[in-house]
Amino acid sequence: MNELLVEDRGAVRILTMNRPEKHNALNTALTQSLVDALRDADTATDVHAVVLTGAGKSFCAGADTTEFSALVPEAPHAVGERAQLTANLHLAFSRMAKPVIAAVRGNALGGGAGLAIACDMAVMSATVRFGYPELKHGIVAAVVMSNLVRQMGRKHAFELLAMAEPIDGARALALGIANRVEPDDKVVDAAVEMATRVASWSPIAVATTKRLFHRVADLTLAEGLDAGRDTNILMRGFRAKAAQ
């Protein structure tokens, strides 16, 4: 069985994590497949936007803990390699030029919650279970913490980590980690609709917008304005050449 399904709808590529019996828990194979698929989508000239979702009842229940328990005693070096692969996956979303929209239903926990907010936008179901339960199991939401802290106020982010209780779609929307909340059966269609709209714009303009967006997020105001000025000049020059 393919653990990652790939479907194109016009200029939108849909990536579906396909381990429904495991609530799409991330093992090494699925994690590597996601890294590769995001890279492929970013280089595909006929793909302008991506939707990430999960098969079955859940988006992603986080790391496959059964695999992790086997890694430690048998191959300690593999733990570091697996952690680096996870970090590479979460970094891939901001580094690719094309926007990615998460379509999130059911469980989005731990690493699955991290995937959802690593995307550029997120459509969540009203009944989603989004959260970071790691402390309940005596572990740390480590790799996923960086994106969480960047996207939320510190107190709300720490509450999600410290209380270890999932929130629903309405709460995710109120906290600013969901863009839209839809009924379960409408989540994927709503995400595809958003992706289709974004995919209809100039690919160069969209890519430049995303690149500048992630750049200015980590700059001071003055540095961000300088970066925006430089991009403004670049795009005006590009438009002038295109008009000739």
Annotated catalytic residues are 134
The dihedral through the CA atoms of 226, 231, 234, 236 has a sign that is negative
| Pairing relationship of beta strands 12-17 and 4-9 according to DSSP bridges | antiparallel
Burial class (CB in 10 A: 0-12, 13-18, 19+), 202: middle
Contacts 24+ apart (CB under 8 A), 197-205: 198/48, 198/49, 198/99, 198/101, 199/10, 199/11, 199/12, 199/48, 199/49, 200/11, 200/48, 203/48, 203/98, 204/238, 205/235
233: its two tokens = 């000049």
Q: Please give the full DSSP string across 122-191, using - where no structure is assigned.
A: EEEETT-EEE--GGGGT----TTHHHHHHHS-HHHHHHHHHH---B-HHHHHHTTS-SEEE-GGGHHHHH
Per the listing, tokens 């390699």 go with 81
